[in-house]
């Protein structure tokens, strides 16, 4: 039996956070190369999460998981038909301010 593939949706705050991260590296590096690589890598991981949503580590909140991606933690919620990206967190920041 084939595994169910859930749709991935982004919470507006998570989308804005990730866009800010990508823009920072574009500006700092003077190139889209790293930002593109970061985005493509995250898309690959999310393709796996769509099929195996429990691959992330439990956060202690019902149906929420977190997975690392480079220096970032991606917080997501598992729903019956979708995966909702809740936050993209720079793991180098103060852990006390973490969203999970």
Cα Rg for the chain, rounded, in angstroms?
Answer: 14
- Is residue 4 very low, low, confident or very high in pLDDT (cuts 50, 70, 90)? confident
Q: Model confidence over 38-80: pLDDT tens digits? A: 999 999 999 999 999 999 999 988 899 999 999 999 999 999 9
Q: Which residues of 63-100 are buried (b: 16+ CB within 10 A; e: fewer)?
A: ebbbbeeeebbbbbbbeeeebbbbbbbeeeeeeeeeeb
pLDDT band at 97 (very low <50, low <70, confident <90, very high): low
Pick the residue with more confidence: 61 or 94?
Answer: 61
The structural domains of the chain, with segments of one domain joined by +, span 7-97
Instruction: Classify domain 7-97 at the CATH class level.
Output: alpha beta
């Amino acid at each position: 039996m084939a595994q169910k593939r859930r749709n991935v949706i982004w919470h507006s705050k998570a989308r804005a956070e990730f866009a800010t991260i990508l823009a920072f590296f574009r500006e700092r590096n003077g190139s889209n190369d790293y930002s593109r690589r970061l985005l493509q890598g995250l898309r690959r991981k999310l393709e796996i999460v769509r099929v195996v949503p429990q691959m992330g580590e439990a956060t202690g909140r019902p149906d929420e998981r977190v997975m690392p991606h480079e220096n970032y933690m991606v917080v997501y919620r598992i729903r019956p038909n979708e995966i909702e990206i809740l936050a993209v967190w720079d793991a180098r920041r103060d852990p006390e301010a973490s969203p999970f």
